[in-house]
Amino acid sequence: MVFSSLFFVFFFFVLCMALVLTRRTVKGQNTVLLIFSLLFYAWGGPVLLLLLCGVTFICWLGGRVIGWLQRPFYRKLTLFMTVAVCLLIFIYFKYTNFLAESLRWIFRFDTVLPEIVLPIGISFYTFQLLSYVADVYRGEAEVQPSYLRLLLYASLFHQCVAGPIVRYSDVCAELDQRSITLQDLSSGVTRFAVGLAKKAVLANYCGSLASTALAANGLAEASSGTVFLGGLFYMLQIYLDFSAYSDMAIGMGRMCGLHYCENFNYPYISGSVTEFWRRWHISLSTFFRDYVYIPLGGNRRGLGRQILNLLAVWALTGLWHGASWNYVLWGLYYFVFLVIEKLFLPKLTDKTPLWSRILRHAGVLVIVWFGWMLFYFEDLSAFGTAIGSLFCANGNAFWDMNARLMLLNNLFFLIVAVLACTPVVPFLRRKLAEAGKSSPAWAAFGNGVDAAFPAILLFVSFVSLIGNTYNPFLYFQF
């Protein structure tokens, strides 16, 4: 089940919210959320629900033991054992086939690879539970005595399968005590509607265009312009798709009185690769910073150790995204540019000339475009063919009728999709709010826009979803 399905939007979530809002106690609301979360997860495979419950039990038990023990050695040993067991389970389900295929390729032997189903969202809920155990060990979170409460945290259908990665310390208080205000309901509905429209109207169509332009069977003959446009539409799709899921998760959480962290901050307006990763998938970046980079020593042990720590973080970041070599190379690709920025490029400041800012921003977009191309092709030979076609190295044309029609037929849509990746709409809303402070007419107009905006987006999304067969969430596979 995906958030952008009609069944979810108009039945599953509506029924869940109706029951949540009619419960008088937080305990009753939590019971409803837990039941619906388990049903949501079981929709993708009832057997895999047992895995989620099992990993949660391991972390719950580990947290209880860490909280009970007093001696540092035994607390650290319990932490190590809990993390090790969870990571072994995670590695088995996500990387067994990848490791077996790699070994088969290296040693040139034939064997039947095991058929292991990748549990939906295993990367997200595993990391969330590990953050809980680590925070309990470090004294940054209280031990959760209730297994069902920790299971609710791990399985909340708002963010269980594709994030954002919500740390237990950020929501533990609200799991025990919260209130649902009209402001939360209003802002939550608007945020959900924005996310649904980004997904149903923009991301899905960008995805269909990218799939057509980058089809493996036509890459060698595709013109340079077709490959470029295909990569551009995929670049738009992956942001609109993933940020849409985060928008919907944050909106649904807010409607239930839960406040999740922001996960995106318009990354395509970044002036450096470092800034891009401070704006893209924020919850994952901060997780690796706080639980890998800093514990390894961060930047406290000299430049050489800092670069080594960055290498570890970005290799793991690539692996986290998928069990394929292109993801590993994608992580190392960004490692290289981050090191180049750190060693050779001056930081952007208010005194940086405008022309330099524009060049740096254009350079970041080029780097990100190539990065998403590497991310898109799990088959590295297909990636090589695509890059060859981009530079007309396959005997292909630079520009042809297919590229021309793709651009002209979708020019208006492309402009809208690009604007959706920028803070133009929030900027205009702030200007409208400022005008409303001095003019009752503008204030009334702004209130009308606020009321009509989510309704219009929900209607447009509904129309787009009817009969739409292309409706995946890209990050479900991670």
Active site members: 321
Q: Any residues with CB less than 8 A from the CB of 417 and at least 6 apart, and which?
A: 202, 206, 236, 240
Question: Hey, CA dihedral for 290, 292, 297, 298, is it positive or negative?
Answer: negative
**What are the phi and psi torsion angles at 83 (to 5°)?**
-65, -40
The amino acid at residue 447 is: N
Q: What is the dihedral of CA 457, 459, 461, 466, to 10 degrees?
A: 180
Q: If you ran DSSP here, which 8-state letter would residue 208 be given?
A: H
Q: Any residues with CB less than 8 A from the CB of 198 and at least 6 apart, and which?
A: 240, 241, 243, 244, 247, 420
Residue linked to tokens 């990387």: 95
* Structure tokens given for 121: 């969202």
Q: What's the N-to-C CA distance of the chain in angstroms?
A: 16
**What are the phi and psi torsion angles at 300 (to 5°)?**
-90, -5
Per residue, the 3-state secondary structure of 376-414, as one string, reads HCCCHHHHHHHHHHHCCCCCCCCCCHHHHHHHHHCHHHH
In whole angstroms, what is the distance from residue 269 CA to residue 421 CA? 8
Is residue 117 helix, strand or coil? coil
Query: Which H or E run includes 210?
Result: helix 204-213
Q: Any residues with CB less than 8 A from the CB of 427 and at least 6 apart, and which?
A: none
Task: State the Cα angle at 361 between 230 and 426, rounded to 5°.
Answer: 85
Q: Which of 85, 87, 64, 84 is nearest to 137 (CA)?
A: 64
Q: Any residues with CB less than 8 A from the CB of 41 and at least 6 apart, and which?
A: 48, 49, 52, 120, 121, 155, 157, 160, 161
* Structure tokens given for 188: 């939550």
**What are the phi and psi torsion angles at 34 (to 5°)?**
-65, -45
Q: If you ran DSSP here, which 8-state letter would residue 115 be given?
A: -
In whole angstroms, what is the distance from residue 367 CA to residue 333 CA? 9
Q: Which of 473, 426, 414 is nearest to 242 (CA)?
A: 473
Compute the residue count for the chain: 478
Provide Rg for the chain, Cα atoms. 24
